[in-house]
């Protein structure tokens, strides 16, 4: 068994990690931290844990929450940016492998990070060794690292939607990414925008001046274009517009981009694009190319992402719909998928095959 620490277990991602790890065959949670709940048992804070099976469960309901993590082989860090980096440094110095769910190590360029997050990076030297934790792109690198930067939820949904098209060079550099995101993506902290009376029966845009997941999207799409021998000839023009919708979990992204003609002057058809996506994601356990527009409820409680690419023949545009659970493939589920790779386990270990519907 592999000992695991969850840093900031009282966050939504921390709780989702507990839920998923309770069924994991190899990971066992031996340490959980949270300053606000230090000294309490896990089942005092989360009474639903009293239903964890008897014997030697991977998550013990009577585990006492501490302010600082105990020694462990693996740690999931669920702290806000900046605070996460400081914790990651200490954990790595202990010889612990880390999956960081914050934004601190997702961006390779420290100046880009500091521009978007408005503070000096606490550990810029680690940006070179951290691996962006999108298994569908960096599977082999993840297996060799000690620090995985778990991608952002909105970024994951958008990147998976556009990777095949960008890698194949079938679209131009102008892209529009429309995001519909659930309330839990804002975390457990109380804010006016996520208060029930404010958010219920309402849809509203947010981060209009620029969302912090945009530089992740640009970084990864530029890398995919280059790796696919279709490097962008100019900096991509990406409009990334998120909207808050009154649901607990889930993200639906709709991407639009102009298609490029092939050498014969023809635009790809809907069938061409669908085949391209099927081939790109063939064999992926968690990414599914489907023949109809997906619903967020399909992915509820899972690590699955559903993608439907099509073509607007009238305008010559690619349209891609992509959805996932922001706490699953967008956070805790993807973190466990990454951790499985770190230890040479099947990527699907401990991750539920079916979601909850209705």
Alpha-carbon gap, residue 178 to 261, rounded angstroms: 24
Task: Provide the CA 123 distance to its chain's centre, in angstroms.
Answer: 22
Q: Which residue in the list 96, 153, 255, 323 is annotated as catalytic?
A: 153
Contact present, 248 and 182 (Cβ < 8 Å): yes
d(CA 117, CA 71): 30
Structure letter (DSSP) for residue 331 = I
- Report whether the peptide linkage leading into residue 177 is cis, meaning its omega lies within 30 degrees of zero: no
Instruction: Give me the helix-helix angle, 214-227 and 110-117, nearest 10°.
Output: 150
Phi-psi region of 350 (alpha: psi -120 to 50; beta: other; left: phi over 0): left
224: left (phi over 0), alpha (psi -120 to 50) or beta: alpha
Distance between CA atoms of 121 and 258, rounded to whole angstroms? 36
- Dmax over Cα atoms in the chain, in whole Å? 69
Work out the end-to-end distance of the chain between its first and last CA atoms, rounded to an integer number of angstroms. 35
CA–CA distance, 8 with 78 (Å, rounded to integer): 5
Place of tokens 């691996």: 131
Catalytic residue status for 96: no
How many Cβ atoms sit within 10 Å of the Cβ of residue 292? 9
Q: Report how far residue 170's alpha carbon sits from residue 162's, in angstroms, rounded to the nearest whole number.
A: 10
Name the phi and psi angles at 237, rounded to 5.
Answer: -105, 100
Catalytic residue positions, numbered: 153
């Amino acid at each position: 068994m592999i000992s695991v620490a969850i840093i900031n277990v009282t966050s939504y991602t921390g709780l989702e990690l507990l839920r998923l790890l309770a069924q994991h065959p190899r990971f066992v949670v031996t340490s959980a931290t949270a300053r606000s709940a230090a000294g309490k048992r896990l089942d005092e804070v989360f009474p639903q844990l009293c239903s964890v099976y008897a014997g030697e469960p991977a998550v013990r309901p009577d585990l006492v929450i501490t302010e600082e993590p105990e020694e462990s082989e693996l740690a999931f860090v669920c702290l806000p940016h900046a605070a996460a980096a400081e914790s990651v440094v200490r954990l790595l110095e202990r010889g612990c492998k880390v999956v960081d769910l914050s934004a601190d190590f997702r961006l390779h360029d420290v100046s880009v990070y500091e521009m978007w997050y408005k503070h000096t990076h606490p550990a810029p030297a680690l940006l070179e060794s951290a691996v962006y934790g999108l298994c569908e792109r960096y599977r082999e690198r993840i297996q060799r690292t000690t620090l995985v930067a778990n991608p952002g939820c909105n970024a994951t949904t958008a990147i998976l939607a556009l990777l095949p098209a960008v890698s194949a060079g079938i679209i131009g550099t102008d892209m529009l990414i429309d995001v519909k995101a659930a309330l839990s993506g804002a975390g457990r902290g109380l804010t006016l925008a996520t208060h029930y009376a404010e958010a219920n029966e309402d849809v509203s845009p947010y981060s209009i001046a620029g969302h912090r997941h945009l530089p992740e999207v640009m970084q990864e799409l530029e890398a995919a274009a280059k790796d696919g021998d279709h490097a962008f000839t100019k900096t991509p023009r990406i409009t990334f517009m998120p909207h808050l919708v009154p649901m607990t979990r889930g993200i639906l992204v709709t991407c639009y981009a102009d298609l490029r003609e092939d050498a014969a002057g023809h635009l790809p058809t809907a069938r061409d694009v669908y085949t391209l996506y099927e081939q790109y994601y063939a064999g992926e356990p968690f990414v599914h190319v489907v023949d109809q527009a997906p619903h967020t409820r399909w992915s509820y409680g899972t690590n699955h992402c559903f993608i439907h690419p099509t073509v607007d023949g009238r305008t010559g545009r690619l349209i891609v719909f992509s959805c996932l659970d922001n706490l699953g493939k967008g956070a805790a589920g993807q973190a466990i998928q990454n951790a499985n790779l770190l230890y040479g386990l099947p990527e699907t270990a401990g991750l539920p095959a079916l979601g909850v519907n209705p």
